[in-house]
């Protein structure tokens, strides 16, 4: 008998020995809850001025990376300033906030959700989910909110704890 996805996630998180293991466990849970083509996690530093990709299930086009400056736009206003989930369901909408929109489109992706990971009122990271255009319906957004918010925070805390161990 296979464990339910949340139980399997908890077990994988408990067994994690490297920072990337925490987000790999989250990726498996994401795919069980709502299959998507691209899962990444971006940590934010210096009050949202710097971003660092901490995890990607597409390391070729979206590798784990060093920091990059975050340019203010309506995405930063929603996610960083207000702590709200950002949704864009067309490539044209994505192009207004992400300079890598051509790469996104070339991968067959056309919609994105960026869910803030917040602890103690401070933004720690974003969970980034991408799939085909118009994928993130209200029902799917509710699934993300209801079933992935707490696991994403747990994965981020496990990642930070394991990274601190060196």
pLDDT digits (tens, 9 = 90+) for 37-74: 999 999 987 676 788 999 999 999 999 987 788 888 99
Question: Is 115 in a helix, a strand, or coil?
Answer: strand
Q: Is the pLDDT assigned to residue 158 strictly greater than 60?
A: yes
Q: What is this structure's pTM?
A: 0.95
Band of residue 147 on the pLDDT scale cut at 50, 70, 90:
very high
Find out whether 43 and 51 touch, Cβ atoms under 8 Å: yes
Lowest mean pLDDT among 32-36, 52-56, 69-73, 153-157: 69-73
Instruction: Quote the radius of gyration of the chain (alpha carbons, Å).
Output: 15
What does DSSP assign to residue 63? -
Find out whether 126 and 116 touch, Cβ atoms under 8 Å: yes
Q: Please, what is the average pLDDT of the chain?
A: 94
Average pLDDT over every residue of 80-101:
95
Instruction: Classify the phi-psi angles of 23: left when phi > 0, otherwise alpha if psi is within -120 to 50, otherwise beta.
Output: alpha
Find out whether 6 and 155 touch, Cβ atoms under 8 Å: no
Q: Is the pLDDT assigned to residue 1 strictly greater than 70?
A: no
**Domains defined for the chain, CATH in brackets:** 5-161 (3.30.450.40)
């Amino acid at each position: 008998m296979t464990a339910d996805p949340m139980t399997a996630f908890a077990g994988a998180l408990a067994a994690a020995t490297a920072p990337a293991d925490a987000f790999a466990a989250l990726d498996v849970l994401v795919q069980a809850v709502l299959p998507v083509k691209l899962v990444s996690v971006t940590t934010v530093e210096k009050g949202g001025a710097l971003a660092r990709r901490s995890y990607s299930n597409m390391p070729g086009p979206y590798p784990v990376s060093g920091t990059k400056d975050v340019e203010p736009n309506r995405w930063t206003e929603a996610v960083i300033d207000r702590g709200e989930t950002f949704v864009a369901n067309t490539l044209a909408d994505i192009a207004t906030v992400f300079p890598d929109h051509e790469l996104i489109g070339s991968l067959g992706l056309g919609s994105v959700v960026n869910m803030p990971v917040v602890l103690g009122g401070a933004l720690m990271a974003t969970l980034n989910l991408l799939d085909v255009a118009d994928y993130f319906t209200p029902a799917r957004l509710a699934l993300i909110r209801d079933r992935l918010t707490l696991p994403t925070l747990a994965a981020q805390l496990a990642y930070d704890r394991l990274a601190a161990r060196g």
